[in-house]
Structure 1
Amino acid sequence: MQEVDICIVGAGPGGATTALHLAQKGIPSVLVDKAVFPRDKICGDALSGKVVNELKRISPELPDLLRQEQSQLPSWGIHFISPGGHQLSVPFKLNYNIAAHTPAGHIIKRIDFDNFLINEVKKRPEITLLEGIDINSIQEQEGRHVLTDKSGKVNLSTKLLISANGAHSSFARHTAGIQQEPAHYCAGLRAYYKGVAGLDKDNFIELHFLKDFLPGYFWIFPLPNGCANVGVGMLSNEVSRRKINLKKEMLRMIETHPALKERFASAELIGDIKGYGLPLGSKKRVISGKGYMLVGDAASLIDPFTGEGISNAMISGRWAAEQAAQCLAQNNFSASFMQGYDKAVYNRLWKELKLSRRMQKLLHYPWLFDQVAAKASKNATLAETISCMFNDLDLRERLRQPSFYLKLLFN
């Protein structure tokens, strides 16, 4: 039995970020993952400006190192395409005061981005990385958490457990009580295509809100070498209520929808279409307890409107490291003391998540989305105003006010 102070289960962006921030503080940790890196992770593969900011917080040179990766594409923004086919473009570069020539976002396959972070982990002597270790038992014993792998050869006893092992974390479900609620959970599919026509020259990612698919959406994210990440997402309760076969619906849209069929006419599917679940941050949850914290998807922190999860996982990882440092300094691992982590995470994310939830609900009114996008597509000033709203939380608050739409529609 190996005794440690901090054990992090799951070495994706949330877990790796936690370990790296701890290392910056000179605090050792053990980081465990059932996979051996590089490994694939089903995802949309888009990194927003928030991810770049979090990389910079880990180490100022990381954004530049990412830009040098040949596996990434710089991305300058998002195209939102309304049910009526109107396009609203939101540049990423408005998000953060960065140089005009520096992209705020990137698109990179998760197999490459996660490995990029793991390579940083491997440089840090404070981090013990254990790959290919499938933890299948976590028990609380005498105020500590004891972790055992399937083979029974790995036994770790830790003062503080940080669960960062994703949407299907058994610890989050069985110990922390995080339930999979269909109204706050999204079903998604991801595929890779080569030869999709009409990709944006500045690598804007595309979110298509197709009329037959609301309140879900269809995405196209360009990748290097003429490839694209293509997928769909829809709330699980809507999938069940409407008895939708997501894979069949996705292929049907690609083959028949006027906005898509010509673009995919010569495209080639690479590999299989894979499914995954997205636990949405559309409600507050208790994400810590006696001797543990939940990070990233295990804490259900995915943006309800855009489906972005990587940045929020990294943000929660940063705050988990802060809380862990305080726990060690005060030798206090009680559930009440751990609540400082919940408060820090939701102080940073809840306003944004709540507004995204309200914007998600707007998808139940496709005519309104169409009217806003149609006006914005013909009015540069309005388009810039709405772009700023997506990037500024205080301005975005107006998007939930009926008066904003009344003025917009009748002026």
Structure 2
Amino acid sequence: MPTTPGIQHYDVIIIGAGPAGCACAMALRDSGLRLAIMDKHHFPRDKVCGDAIPGLAIKVLHQIDPQFAERLAAFSEKLPTKRTVCYYNNKMINFSWSLEAYTATRECFDNFLFSGIRNHPDIHALEGIAVNDIISNPEGYTVITKDNQQYQCTLLIGADGINGVTARKLALREMDRKHHVAGVRAYYNGVSGMDDTCTEIYFDRKYLPGYFWVFPIKGGAVNAGMGILSDEVAKKKINVKDAFHNFIERSAILKEKFRDAQPLGAMQGCGLPIGSRWVVMSGDHFLLAGDAASLIDPMSGDGIGNAILSAKLAAEQAIQCFAAGSFRAAFMKNYEQQLYKAVGADMKRKAGALKMLARMPFFFDIAFAIGKNRIVKKFIK
């Protein structure tokens, strides 16, 4: 790319330094490419989430970075997750996890990931840089920040989530309530009967296919939250914060657990783009990863695992692009194909099952009645 006076040039710019952005930077740091990653926040920063770090995320991070195990061992803010218990209509399914998984607040976990790339000599990490616009040019993109700084790149990787600029500007994405979840999250002390190694999920016929979660966090606190399809929220005029408290009142188990609980701060809301549709996530000179590519698992609600997997595949595609000297949309499609093979087909099946369960809740009773079946458990996972 020709040099423009006063503008910094990079081979790759990653917008967004959450798990997807950081994992992509980790995967590219020894590629020989001139790399920048930028985020509108300064780290550490909070992120409204369930705070579960699933086995897929940890597995892929080990694949990306041979030294990750040593760094993870030193990360003291995590709790190991050994199992998950799901409750519905007085029935329970208990899942044991073979992969290494944890809970940790996103403020701590995201800062842990970012700290691994912040001072790396091959990565230009830019904090507190809010992107205002992205403009295409014949050889890539010009990124314009809110303070009118300009950065140019040959390849742009968008990892700035559902509310970021990249999906909106590059893929012309608009929010579709049928493929979006409205969620709330709050931290509590004094929730009784918790096992630090076990996460809990609750379902209620009134709010299907939404669910309520209670995840233990280091220090005796829990992350409690609820997600409901935004389409249902709009149709039924649901106040999700009120529904959160109503869910607890309707569940004898939750009501007892939260009897003496005390909130730690205010409840916060979030929007989650679930992967119940396959969206545009690549094009001329760009790739999208994580929530920017709508990759949250429709069944489990996990976004971090697929985000980090997509980051790894995006980095591999980037290396192939520079090796081949091709950044055209047709060449980029290989990224989408690899991602669909890895998780897309599975998310499509789960989305179909979820729609069926929402239309015919009695299938939920059947699923929990036979939930101990190995095949059923594998599908739900």
Q: TM-score range by the shorter chain?
A: over 0.9
Q: Report the 3-state secondary structure (helix = DSSP H, G, I; strand = E; otherwise coil) of the residue aligned with 2:259.
A: coil
Say whether 1:21 aligns with 2:27: yes
Q: Report the 3-state secondary structure (helix = DSSP H, G, I; strand = E; otherwise coil) of the residue aligned with 2:29.
A: helix
Aligned to 1:196: 191
1:138–1:145: 8 Å Cα contact kept in structure 2? yes
Counterparts of 1:13 and 1:52, CA distance in 2: 11
Aligned to 1:404: none
Give the direction of change, closer, same or farther, for the CA distance of 1:91–1:248 in structure 2 (3 Å limit). Answer: same
Deviation at 1:384, TM superposition (A): 4.5
Say whether 1:172 aligns with 2:178: no
Counterparts of 1:372 and 1:335, CA distance in 2: 42
Say whether 1:249 aligns with 2:255: no
Q: Provide, for residues 329-367 of structure 1, a one-character-per-residue CA deviation record: whole Å limited to 9, x for no partner.
A: 122111111111111111111122112213322432333
Aligned counterpart for 1:31 among listed residues 33, 37, 50: 37
Give the direction of change, closer, same or farther, for the CA distance of 1:28–1:368 in structure 2 (3 Å limit). Answer: same
Say whether 1:361 aligns with 2:355: yes
1:67–1:74: 8 Å Cα contact kept in structure 2? no
Aligned counterpart for 1:258 among listed residues 249, 252, 260: 252
Aligned to 1:343: 337
Q: Provide, for residues 306-345 of structure 1, a one-character-per-residue CA deviation record: whole Å limited to 9, x for no partner.
A: 1100111111111111111111112211111111111111
Counterparts of 2:94 and 2:33, CA distance in 1: 43
Deviation at 1:42, TM superposition (A): 0.7
Deviation at 1:6, TM superposition (A): 0.6
The amino acid of 1:129's aligned partner reads A
Deviation at 1:371, TM superposition (A): 3.3
Say whether 1:387 aligns with 2:377: yes
Say whether 1:107 aligns with 2:103: yes
Deviation at 1:52, TM superposition (A): 1.2
Aligned counterpart for 1:234 among listed residues 213, 228, 233: 228
Q: Report the 3-state secondary structure (helix = DSSP H, G, I; strand = E; otherwise coil) of the residue aligned with 1:260.
A: helix
Aligned to 2:365: 370
Equivalenced residue count is 374
Say which is worse superposed, 356-365 or 84-93, in terms of deviation.
356-365
Counterparts of 1:383 and 1:67, CA distance in 2: 34
The amino acid of 2:46's aligned partner reads D
Aligned counterpart for 2:276 among listed residues 264, 282, 302: 282
Give the direction of change, closer, same or farther, for the CA distance of 1:241–1:123 in structure 2 (3 Å limit). Answer: same
Aligned to 1:379: none
Q: What is the TM-score normalised by the length of structure 1?
A: 0.87
Deviation at 1:262, TM superposition (A): 1.4
Q: Provide, for residues 261-295 of structure 1, a one-character-per-residue CA deviation record: whole Å limited to 9, x for no partner.
A: 11111101111111111111111122111111111
Q: Report the 3-state secondary structure (helix = DSSP H, G, I; strand = E; otherwise coil) of the residue aligned with 1:122.
A: coil
Aligned to 1:62: 68
Aligned counterpart for 2:92 among listed residues 84, 87, 106: 87
Counterparts of 2:329 and 2:8, CA distance in 1: 24
The amino acid of 1:188's aligned partner reads G
Q: Report the 3-state secondary structure (helix = DSSP H, G, I; strand = E; otherwise coil) of the residue aligned with 2:121.
A: coil
The amino acid of 2:332's aligned partner reads M
RMSD between superposed Cα atoms in Å = 1.7
Deviation at 1:390, TM superposition (A): 4.2
Give the direction of change, closer, same or farther, for the CA distance of 1:40–1:170 in structure 2 (3 Å limit). Answer: same
Q: Report the 3-state secondary structure (helix = DSSP H, G, I; strand = E; otherwise coil) of the residue aligned with 2:95.
A: strand
Q: Report the 3-state secondary structure (helix = DSSP H, G, I; strand = E; otherwise coil) of the residue aligned with 2:266.
A: strand
Counterparts of 2:244 and 2:156, CA distance in 1: 39
The amino acid of 1:220's aligned partner reads V
Within a 5 Å distance, the mapping from 1:270-309 to structure 2 comes to 270-309=264-303
Aligned counterpart for 1:76 among listed residues 78, 82, 86: 82
The amino acid of 1:212's aligned partner reads K
Aligned counterpart for 2:317 among listed residues 298, 304, 323: 323
Q: Provide, for residues 41-86 of structure 1, a one-character-per-residue CA deviation record: whole Å limited to 9, x for no partner.
A: 111100111011111012234245324422110001221112x121
Give percent identity, aligned residues only: 37
Counterparts of 1:265 and 1:8, CA distance in 2: 45
1:194–1:227: 8 Å Cα contact kept in structure 2? yes
Aligned counterpart for 1:131 among listed residues 127, 130, 138: 127
Say which is worse superposed, 142-151 or 362-371, in terms of deviation.
362-371
Aligned counterpart for 1:116 among listed residues 103, 112, 117: 112
